[in-house]
């Protein structure tokens, strides 16, 4: 009995010492487990009551309860105190955080190749007097197909494998050409726009294909627009992008329902004069499609084809970049691999 009383005093004083020495939340947690835990020192005193007489129980029961409750209270007070201290410390170090400080050897970010190329193309077209236009990536079938003279059930729809959405009549745009229609419906000729953005095709991924890539669209509508103006423009922006004054372009007949005549555009290989592995020893590389805007497309854009004509072109920005920087796998360009991307 005397024993129990001594035990209570011992536990109480060693708890107080431990509490006093708990100078961090971790240390405090250790103290809590040691004394207040389910198998802690205080809990272990409880079974001792069992062997006491009724009178003794009446005396020691409350004593033990007081010990338990006051210890818990002391523990919570100390916890609040430490939490506040820690909070103040964090606040203090936040206050001294200098966002402008120079950290030697820190890794600098850089613009992604897509951002760099987009800015470059936009600069080139703005310098030519073009406006930059934009359109949504989730597009209606009407703008992506019908208005561009690609009617339903026309085999040309299969030329571009489409992601159809659950939303009715909505697709992920398969090309940037719908921006042509959107522009004609909102701007009066004469007009000249360029538009860069992402397009999507339902295709298996390999070294040269991905389900997403980027295109560059151009559209000019005015009176008496000619193919020579189109080819001159293409030669100019490709020459600037590849930084080659003597870059040449050639046109071959091609089929795109929204242009007539339609052209496939090749450019002279910027890396050789006699043929190399990059141009498969042909000296020419295929870079995009173009043509004079089909009269029906002008009509869909609310423009009178008897009064106006236009040219349009569409180039693969992804392809242009891969070509310029000799990236052989599209998956590298589309990865988040900073070791790869930081080279550019």
**Site of interaction with ligand PHE (CB under 6 A):** 175, 177, 256, 259, 289-291, 312-314
Is the distance from CB of 250 to CB of 257 less than 8 angstroms?
no
Least distance to ligand PHE from the beta carbon of 314, Å? 2
Q: Which long-range contacts (CB under 8 A, 24 or more apart) does 44-47 make?
A: 45/4, 45/7, 45/8, 45/11
- Tokens at 151, concatenated: 């009617």
- Tell me which residue has its CB nearest to ligand PHE: 314
How many angstroms separate the CA atoms of 117 and 316, rounded? Answer: 12
The single-letter DSSP state of residue 187 is S
Between 21 and 229, name the residue whose CB sits nearer to ligand PHE: 229
- Which residues are 313's β-sheet partners? 218, 290
Regarding beta strands 131-132 and 191-200, do their DSSP bridges make them parallel or antiparallel, or are they unpaired?
Answer: parallel
In the complex with ligand PHE, the residue whose CB is nearer, 158 or 246, is 158
Residue 135 or 289 with smaller CB distance to ligand PHE: 289
Q: What is the C-alpha separation between 52 and 49, in angstroms, rounded?
A: 5
Which one, 4 or 150, has the nearer CB to ligand PHE? Answer: 150
Q: Which is nearer to ligand PHE, 290 or 330 (CB)?
A: 290
Helix (H) or strand (E) holding 322: helix 317-324
CB nearer to ligand PHE: pick between 60 and 311: 311
- R_g (Cα) of the chain, nearest Å: 37
Least Cβ distance, residue 211 to ligand PHE (angstroms): 14
Sequence-separated (6 or more) residues with CB below 8 Å from residue 189: 221, 222, 223, 303, 308, 310
The end-to-end CA distance of the chain, in Å, is 82
Cβ distance to ligand PHE smaller for residue 37 or 261: 261
DSSP 189: S
Q: Which long-range contacts (CB under 8 A, 24 or more apart) does 228-233 make?
A: 229/311, 230/263, 230/290, 230/291, 230/292, 230/311, 230/313, 233/128, 233/311, 233/313
């Amino acid at each position: 009995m005397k024993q129990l009383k001594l035990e209570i005093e011992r536990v109480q004083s060693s708890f107080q010492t431990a509490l006093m020495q708990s100078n961090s939340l971790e240390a405090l947690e250790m103290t809590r487990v040691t004394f207040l835990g389910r198998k802690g020192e205080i809990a272990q005193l409880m079974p001792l009551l069992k062997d006491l007489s009724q009178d003794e129980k009446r005396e020691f029961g409350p004593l033990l309860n007081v010990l338990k409750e006051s210890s818990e209270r002391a523990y919570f007070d100390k916890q609040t105190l430490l939490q506040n201290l820690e909070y103040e410390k964090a606040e203090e170090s936040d206050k001294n955080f200098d966002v402008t400080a120079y950290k030697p050897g820190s890794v600098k970010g850089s613009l992604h190749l897509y951002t760099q190329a987009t800015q470059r193309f936009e600069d080139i077209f703005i310098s030519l007097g073009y406006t930059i236009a934009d359109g949504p990536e989730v597009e209606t079938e009407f703008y992506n197909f019908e208005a561009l003279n690609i009617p339903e059930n026309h085999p040309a729809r299969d030329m571009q494998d489409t992601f159809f959405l659950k939303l009715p009549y909505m697709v992920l745009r398969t090309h940037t050409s719908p921006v042509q229609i959107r522009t004609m419906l909102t701007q009066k000729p004469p007009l000249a726009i360029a538009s860069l953005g992402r397009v999507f095709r339902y295709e298996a991924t390999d070294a040269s294909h991905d389900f997403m890539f980027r295109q560059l669209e151009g559209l000019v509508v005015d009176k008496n627009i000619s193919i020579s103006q189109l080819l001159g423009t293409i030669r100019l922006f490709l020459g600037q992008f590849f930084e080659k004054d003597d870059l040449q372009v050639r046109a071959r007949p091609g089929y795109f329902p929204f242009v007539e005549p339609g052209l496939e555009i090749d450019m002279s290989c910027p890396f050789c004069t006699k043929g190399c592995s990059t141009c498969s020893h042909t000296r020419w590389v295929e870079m995009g499609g173009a043509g004079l805007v089909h009269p029906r497309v002008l009509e869909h854009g609310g423009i009178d084809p008897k009064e106006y004509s236009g040219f349009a072109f569409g180039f693969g920005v992804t392809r242009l970049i891969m070509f310029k920087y000799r990236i052989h796998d599209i998956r590298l360009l589309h990865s988040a691999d900073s070791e790869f991307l930081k080279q550019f």
